[in-house]
Amino acid sequence: MTNLLEIHSLTMMFGGLKAVDDIDIYVAPKEIAALIGPNGAGKTTVFNCITGIYNPTEGDIFVCRPGGVKKRINGIKINKATELGIARTFQNTRLFPNMTVLENVMIGRHCRTRAGVLGAFLRDSSTLREEQQIIDFSYDILVHVGLADQVNELAKNLPYGDQRRLEIARAMATEPFLLLLDEPAAGMNPRETDELRELIDRIRNDKAISVLMIEHDMKMVMGISDRIFVLDYGKKIAEGTPEEIRENPVVIKAYLGEDFTIDA
């Protein structure tokens, strides 16, 4: 099977700073891949290049929906990337704070629905049907991520861990084939992290969505990933299964210091 995401020699410069330096990454269908590396390694920048927030200085980004054709998406408009089927969460959660939990997810349905201004005025049967479908679909996802009891709460009033899960739910509502998670476990306690890990696993298994995630929690990364890419100062220094990464001396040296072992 072809890869869903293929990045070839991606370089992103900010002025003189090479935030991402000639890296290759790929994600296969139904796979959970992880992107790790110390702070400032360029991980978020890679995400921003994939989702069209930045236009890469050099290199190619290809995506291929399962059963679709391969497409180069360098410099794509942000909303077009989502329409193609790449959804993401943000390192610092970016919810719509004054909308309810349900509405946050409903926004995710925007690119998969059609109703226009006229439909809103007239509320004809097809608009009403679509609106109901949006509500149903969104509620289903909230049940899936375990936020069904907070549907009417404003997003800003949710505890931090729930906000992170809501962001995942919102991304799921866009029906992606590839989900990019930027530090989903940041700020979560161990129990929440376990729940999250189980959720990500379920997303992959039930919905056949591939996941590429940035994460600092080594226990989670090692436990869940099929493949790990390690960045350091914008360069890819290693790639492999959790076992390979755990034993890779370059990673241990660069990422965790000289006398350190990755235990998971």
Partner 1 sequence: MNIFSELKKSLIVALWFVFLTFPIMVIRVNTIEKIIEWRWRNMLIIAIGSFLVSLLWRYLLTRKQTQTDSQLEKRPLSQLIFEEPKVYKPILVLIGLFVVIFPFIFSSYQINIMTTALMYVMLGLGLNIVVGLAGLLDLGYVAFYAVGAYTYALINHHFGLGFWTILPVGALLAAFFGILLGFPVLRLRGDYLAIVTLGFGEIIRLILENWNEFSFGPSGIAHISRPGFMGINLNLNESIIYLYYLMIFFCLITIFVINRLQNSRIGRAWIALREDEVACQAMGIDKTKTKLTAFALGATWAGMVGVIFAAKTTFVNPASFTFLESAMILSIVVLGGMGSIVGVFIAAMILILTPEYLRAFSNYRMLLFGAVMVLMMVFRPQGIVPNVRRFYRFRRVTSNPGNLYDKSS
Ligand X SMILES: Nc1ncnc2c1ncn2[C@@H]1O[C@H](COP(=O)(O)OP(=O)(O)OP(=O)(O)O)[C@@H](O)[C@H]1O
Under the rule (CB under 8 A), what is the footprint of partner 1? 51, 53, 77-79, 82-83, 87-88, 90, 94-100, 102-103, 106-108, 110-113, 115-117, 119-121, 123, 127, 130-132, 134-136, 139-140, 143, 148, 151-154, 157, 170, 174
Residue 262 partner contact from Mg ion, partner 1, ligand X, none using kind-dependent CB cut-offs of 5 to 8 Å: none
| Integer Cα distance of 102 and 120 in angstroms | 19
Chain centre distance of CA 30: 14
Least separation in angstroms between CB 92 and ligand X: 9
Binding of Mg ion by 44 (CB under 5 A): yes
Least separation in angstroms between CB 233 and partner 1: 26
Closer to partner 1 by Cβ: residue 133 or 189: 133
| Integer Cα distance of 230 and 2 in angstroms | 22
| Integer Cα distance of 30 and 4 in angstroms | 9
Least separation in angstroms between CB 65 and ligand X: 26
Least separation in angstroms between CB 26 and partner 1: 22
Tokens of residue 214, six digits: 């940035």
Closer to partner 1 by Cβ: residue 24 or 140: 140
Closer to ligand X by Cβ: residue 39 or 152: 39
Least separation in angstroms between CB 43 and ligand X: 3
Closer to Mg ion by Cβ: residue 162 or 215: 215
Nearest CA to 42 out of 94, 85, 91, 95 is that of 91
Tell me which residues touch ligand X (CB under 6 A): 14, 17, 19, 37, 39-45, 91
Binding of Mg ion by 2 (CB under 5 A): no
Cβ(43)–Cβ(37) below 8 Å: yes
Closer to partner 1 by Cβ: residue 43 or 197: 43
DSSP H helices, 38-154, are 43-50, 78-84, 101-108, 117-122, 125-145
- The binding track of 83-122 with respect to Mg ion, each residue x by CB under 5 A or -, is --------x-------------------------------
Nearest CA to 43 out of 75, 15, 20 is that of 20
Least separation in angstroms between CB 91 and ligand X: 5
Supply φ then ψ for residue 71, to 5 degrees: -140, 135
Closer to partner 1 by Cβ: residue 89 or 248: 89
Ordered DSSP codes for 193-209? HHHHHHHHHHHHHHH--
| Integer Cα distance of 22 and 59 in angstroms | 7
Cβ(137)–Cβ(69) below 8 Å: no
